[in-house]
Amino acid sequence: MSPSKLFQVHTTNSNSLSRRRAKKHQNIRNSASCFTKNDIAVLVGTRQKSRKVKHNARGK
């Protein structure tokens, strides 16, 4: 069974918001096969850091 078919079955009864969240999560899981856990941690860490910096700049 293809991942897209599983995804469709999983989200038939969900609203659009959770469907979007599931899709995003699925993309992360799919990309996990080509990254090590450390790489993912670095990517996630840098993304959170940049978001925090933006928030602080807005606060000032």
Radius of gyration from C-alpha coordinates of the chain: 16
Q: Which two tokens stand for residue 9?
A: 């079955």
**DSSP state, residue 35:** S
User: What pLDDT is attached to residue 2?
Assistant: 54
Residues 26, 7: contact at Cβ < 8 Å? yes
Q: How far apart are CA 14 and CA 59, in angstroms?
A: 36
Q: What confidence score (pLDDT) does residue 30 get? A: 58
pLDDT at 45: 59
User: Quick one: pLDDT at residue 36?
Assistant: 61
**Type and span of the H or E element at 49:** helix 37-59
Instruction: Please list the pLDDT of the chain residue by residue as tens digits (60 residues).
Output: 555 555 555 555 545 556 666 666 666 555 555 556 666 666 665 555 555 555 556 655
